[in-house]
Structure 1
Amino acid sequence: MPEEQVHDAERDAILAALGPVVDGIAATFGPVCEVVLHDYRRPEKSVVAVAGEVTGRGVGGAMSEIGMRVLAQGDEAADDLNYVTRTGTGKLVKSSTMVLRDSTGAVFGALCVNVDITAVNEAHALLGALAGLVSGAAEPPVTAFGNDIDSVVDAILDAHRLGRNESWAGLGRAERLDLFRGLDEQGVFAVRRAIEQVAARLGISRATAYSYLSQARAATDPTPAGGHA
């Protein structure tokens, strides 16, 4: 059996073994908890198991922008624990993303735990107000969750300059490169057809989008000309 098929069989076995874990964690923490198992070999439909309902995704759903960032980091990705974000519907969510590796150390998926802490946060704010305490905590970032990968890519675009109603024509070259660099760092271009979607959203050709992506990557490549990666 070819080596890659052996690794794929191993990855499939790990995902299958984690199925009961997904259900067990969600059952332990109750209705405020959601556990999502991702297979990054299929970025557009990465959700292979889900228990609970916090972000509204189901099996066959897409990864979030958090998953895209993990995908962009490749085998250098690390666990991201106890971070807080807000969904598009206003839920405050505390999450942990734990990467999955095969026996070679290659990252191929993630186990994510999302806990809806909206009610807890509201109770905390009420108790703080009663005690005369003023909270100066920063507002958590909004994270796009959806079953459709296109909607996640659109949300990431909106969070960049396009969200401030700036047109492609109104951006200078450095700003355009910065836009593509930011999208690339968030793992957008690891998703199939994303380059076409970004090009259509910006009103440019696919060739132009590929050109800017190539230039953005070249500008951040630490390998000197003629050197070895």
Structure 2
Amino acid sequence: MASAGDVGGARQPGADAAEDLMRAVEPLVDGLAATFGPHCEVVLHDFRHPESSIRALAGSVTSRHIGGAMSEIGLGVLAQGDRAEDRLNYLTRTPDGRTVKSSTLVLRTGSGQVIGALCVNLDITELRIAATSLAALVGSASEPEATATTFFSDDIGEVMETVIAQEESALGRVLPRDTRKGRLAIIEALDAKGVFKLPRAVQQVAAHLNVSRATVYADLSATRAPGTGA
């Protein structure tokens, strides 16, 4: 297992519990990946560094690397803050068509602060093909379960663009040509998914929507105001 190097200098007192938890969990990454075999990937995310959250990784299902980014699923967990809960045994699909069964285990300190997640991704594509073939042989074949496509990348900018595109698809319109009402709707949706917890999110969303950063800040404030919403 490879892991991110320690940053030099003394740790801040408030960071001790989070860092100790991360160091305690790191040895599990290799062990879990070895247990499930070559079709398994185990990823340790550190939410203290959301743009490069992958702290440790073993296996290769999503083709990411240490220092890479979380997916839109991770952004959703990040958006929930300390209210985040585990997500177990959910199915998703990679852009190249592989089916992945995943579990996301939230990591929290003794005080209840969510500081990361341990994710297990198992490529079950071949297993599903075999199961479908066997079911057909015994006359009990059924329609395969639909799964959503999740975009995985080391580049958090690419992940953000994917989230924005998904929201545009749900709204049924391209946002740069939309009204302010439509822009507020997408900004509210992106905020709910944790996008604006990333350091350069406002700049990237502004570029995508072809508006100024000041406009995005103003729209974000408007959507967060009590009793308002897009």
Instruction: Answer whether TM exceeds 0.5 for this pair.
Output: yes
Match of 1:55 in 2: 62
- Measured against aligned partners, the alpha-carbon deviations of 1:76-112 in whole angstroms (never above 9, x if no partner) come to 0001111110111221111111111112110011111
- Look up the equivalent residue of 1:39 and give its one-letter code: D
- Measured against aligned partners, the alpha-carbon deviations of 1:116-171 in whole angstroms (never above 9, x if no partner) come to 01111111222233333353454211111111100100111111216888333543
1:57 Cα deviation after fit:
1.1
**Does the 8 A contact of 1:157 with 1:163 survive in 2?**
no
Residue number among 201, 205, 209 corresponding to 2:212 in the alignment: 205
**Does the 8 A contact of 2:176 with 2:210 survive in 1?**
no
**Does the 8 A contact of 1:167 with 1:202 survive in 2?**
no
- Look up the equivalent residue of 1:142 and give its one-letter code: T
Question: Is 1:166 aligned to 2:173, yes or no?
Answer: yes
TM-score using structure 1 length: 0.88
198-207 or 37-46, which moves further after superposition? 198-207
CA distance in 1, matches of 2:36, 2:111: 33
- Count residues with an aligned counterpart: 219
Residue number among 102, 122, 130 corresponding to 1:123 in the alignment: 130
**Does the 8 A contact of 1:45 with 1:60 survive in 2?**
yes
- Measured against aligned partners, the alpha-carbon deviations of 1:43-91 in whole angstroms (never above 9, x if no partner) come to 0011110001111111111111111111110000001111110111221
SS at match of 1:160: helix
**Does the 8 A contact of 2:168 with 2:186 survive in 1?**
yes
- Name stretches of at least 5 consecutive residues in structure 2 with no aligned partner: 1-10
CA distance in 1, matches of 2:173, 2:70: 27
Residue number among 66, 69, 72 corresponding to 2:76 in the alignment: 69
- Look up the equivalent residue of 2:79 and give its one-letter code: A
- Look up the equivalent residue of 1:191 and give its one-letter code: L
Question: Is 1:6 aligned to 2:48, yes or no?
Answer: no
- Look up the equivalent residue of 1:210 and give its one-letter code: Y
TM-score using structure 2 length: 0.88
1:12 Cα deviation after fit:
1.2
